[in-house]
Amino acid sequence: MNTPVPEYLADLLQNCKAAQGGKLADYIPELAAADPNKLAVALTTLDGLVYSAGDDDYEFTIQSISKAFVYAYVIEALGREAVLEKVGVEPSGEAFNEISLDQTSDQVKPKNPMINSGAITVHSMIPTTDNTDRAEIIRQFFSKLAGRELAFDMAIYQSEKDTAFRNLSIGYSLRNLNILESDPIEVVGSYVKQCSIKVSVKDLVNMIGVLVNGGVLPQTGERIFSHLTVRQVLTVMTTCGMYNAAGDWLAAVGIPAKSGVSGGIIGVLPGQVGLAVFAPKLDRYGNSVRGIDIMQQMSNDMGLHLLEGI
Ligand code: GLN
């Protein structure tokens, strides 16, 4: 690839406009009001240099992309074993909002932390002191990773909270099994708030710098996650990050990734690059149609597939 990176990214966006189809998520009423034509891409190198193109300052809600970072945060705080006791690492092969529990192990638990049942459980495990609410702890943590103060989108938060019937039913199932140990209404409300933190693609690549760089924040040199924590989160992103399309994704794109219903996708190749894309129209699995197209193109052009070397 000899084209300078900014031009390469701009060309990518131009070419991906051919990827038609998909539709806006509408189960969160406020998300259905998104502009379907927004399109952005960003890339970070190992040393934290950021390149971007398109609507790269446009802010959207992080949604399920938050699950990867909160999983890492809770593992770092409580240890991997404590988290594995409550949430497994098996791909579910089911939709992200399935009321899905692994019944095969000794203890019934959510199959993995990238689907809602696992992510709601992981959210409930965020340690709190002095009554700071968990979503606020996460907002501050994401702001630190992004290198700027991030905010909640209160309209999306309220809209999702008012219609969170499915997540509430997941919450009550988890409470019934004692996997959640506190009020499901409060936990689900706070989880939904975590999902409503606003980011741009530039913020996302700044945030994933820490995963690209083995747990150290490139901007400050501070160690945020241990090597083992990063390995754990990237493993689960590889097997479960794209929900029930994770196998197709791994074959076609081949990098650990996480998507969200507002249309964002992050991709992390440890020791090499971090990628983020945004385009709101989704396929039937809840993954961005144009986002997948752009990621696949980048993976091909730069030889990023994990198994490229064979
Ligand atoms: N807040 C959304 C939910 O819980 C996140 C889902 C997603 O991005 N796939 O349903």
- DSSP-assigned letter for residue 2: -
Q: From ligand 1's centre to the CA of 259, what distance in Å?
A: 9
Model confidence over 122-177: pLDDT tens digits? 999 999 987 679 999 999 999 999 999 999 999 999 999 999 999 999 999 999 99
pLDDT digits (tens, 9 = 90+) for 69-123: 999 999 999 999 999 999 999 988 888 888 777 776 667 899 999 999 999 999 9
With a 6 A CB cut-off, is 261 part of the ligand 1 pocket? yes
Site to substitute for ligand 1 among 97, 112, 168, most atoms within 8 A of C-beta: 97
182-193 mean pLDDT: 96
Angle in degrees, CA 127, 188, 247, rounded to 5 = 90
Query: What residues contact 96, with CB distance under 8 A and at least 6 apart?
Result: 64, 114, 115, 116, 243, 261, 285, 286
Kindly list the distances between the CA atom of residue 212 and the CA atoms of 9, 138, 218, 283, 299, in Å, as whole numbers in the listed order.
Answer: 20, 20, 9, 27, 16
* Per-residue pLDDT, 104: 67
Ligand 1 in reach of 63 Cβ (< 6 A): yes
Query: Is 64 within 8 Å of 266 (Cβ atoms)?
Result: no
**Residue 145: Cβ within 10 Å count:** 22
Residues in CB range of 27: below 8 A, 6 or more apart: 163, 166
Q: What are phi and psi of 276, to 5 degrees?
A: -145, 140
Q: Is the dihedral of CA 92, 245, 232, 201 positive or negative?
A: negative
Classify domain 5-63+197-302 at the CATH superfamily level.
Answer: DD-peptidase/beta-lactamase superfamily (3.40.710.10)
CA angle 209, 303, 50 (to 5 degrees): 30
Q: What is the pLDDT of residue 105?
A: 64
* Domain boundaries for CATH 3.40.710.10 within the chain: 5-63+197-302, 66-195
Do 87 and 112 meet the contact criterion of CB atoms below 8 Å apart? yes
ipTM of the complex: 0.97
Instruction: Between 195 and 21, name the one with better pLDDT.
Output: 195
147: left (phi over 0), alpha (psi -120 to 50) or beta: left
Residue range 240-267, pLDDT digits in tens: 999 888 999 999 999 999 999 999 999 9
In CATH, which of 3.50.50.60, 3.40.710.10, 3.40.50.2020, 3.40.50.300 is domain 66-195?
3.40.710.10
What is the 47 CA–ligand 1 centroid distance (Å)?
31
**The pLDDT value given to residue 202:** 98
**Predicted pLDDT at 309:** 77
Distance 200 CA to ligand 1 centre (A): 17
Instruction: Yes or no: say if 288 and 281 are a contact pair by the CB < 8 Å rule.
Output: yes
**pLDDT value, residue 3:** 79
Q: What is the mean pLDDT of residues 189-218?
A: 97
6-49 pLDDT, tens per residue? Answer: 899 999 998 887 777 899 998 889 899 899 999 999 999 998 89
Banded model confidence at residue 1, pLDDT cuts 50, 70, 90: low
Q: Strands 50-54, 109-110: parallel, antiparallel or unpaired by DSSP?
A: unpaired
| Per-residue model confidence (pLDDT) at position 251 | 94
Given pLDDT bands bounded at 50, 70 and 90, which one contains residue 2? low
| Average pLDDT, integer, range 291-304 | 95
